[in-house]
Amino acid sequence: MSPSRSELLKSYSPQDLFSCPEESQFYSQCLEKMVFNGGYDRVIEFGAGDGSPIISSLLKTRFSGVIHGYELNATACEVARNRIDDCQLAGQYKIHNQCFFAGYSEIAANCLIANPPYIPAPDNRIYLPALHGGIDGATLTNRLLALGCETAMLMISAYSNPVATIQRAVDQGYSVTNFMITPLQFGYYSSEPKVRDWITQLRQQNKAFYSANIYFLAGVLFQRKSSSLTDLSSELIKVITVL
């Protein structure tokens, strides 16, 4: 007999998946301001996780479109689907337990959203391999931008080569049209000695920016350039590298 919804939610362990309430809340706030109140109606999400940031945002906004979230972790998908059902949001938030890059072309989305893995390390042999963002932490972020979606709202970490990512986006035809920034403390995964030592090396190469106590996380709205858009990429770089 399969477990009931309540049993599944009770048995869900944050240790099995990435869990950072502060980061999830900020991601949700960025979505509320820059996406769900921005007129987009066909949204696609890379890495839905347990679905909590999207669910929280949907309950606070009047978003009337559909979000397709992609998540490889089957347990996270089941938890997300049950939470979506409990909140009566199944018509707006659909979770796919498959590779985002395999399903991306099937959805005619006008906005891509993601809080992609951004932990930098020489390899993925870290506390939680799913959080590995490549050697400089920006590999998946750059891959998402390369898809060429008309609009993308992505989370950018100050210690994951943010300047190169922003400049690369501009070179690919994007403008930074809005952004939000919050300070975060280094957590369990980013404080792993192997990871922290690597981040220190990136800082010496001007690819990571942080203080002894905090780093900045930015929610960034990238839109295809047009004459009517103001590009805030220079301002974003100044703010995210200030530490």
Please report which confidence band the pLDDT of residue 229 belongs to, taking 50, 70 and 90 as the band edges.
confident
pTM: 0.92
Q: How many CA atoms lie within 13 A of 224 on its CB side?
A: 9
Q: Bigger pLDDT: 66 or 105?
A: 66
45/112 Cα distance (integer angstroms): 6
**What is the per-residue pLDDT across 20-45, written as a single tens digit (0 to 9) for each?**
899 999 999 999 999 999 889 999 99
Per-residue buried b or exposed e for 26-35, using 16+ beta carbons within 10 Å of the residue's own CB:
bbbbbbbbbb
Q: Spell out the domains of the chain, with CATH numbers in brackets.
A: 25-240 (3.40.50.150)
Gap between the Cα atoms of 214 and 158, Å rounded: 10
CA dihedral sign of residues 35, 240, 198, 185? negative
Note whether 118 and 20 are within 8 A (CB). no
Residue 134 vs residue 105, higher pLDDT: 134
* Per-residue model confidence as pLDDT tens digits over 56-84: 999 999 999 999 999 999 999 999 999 99
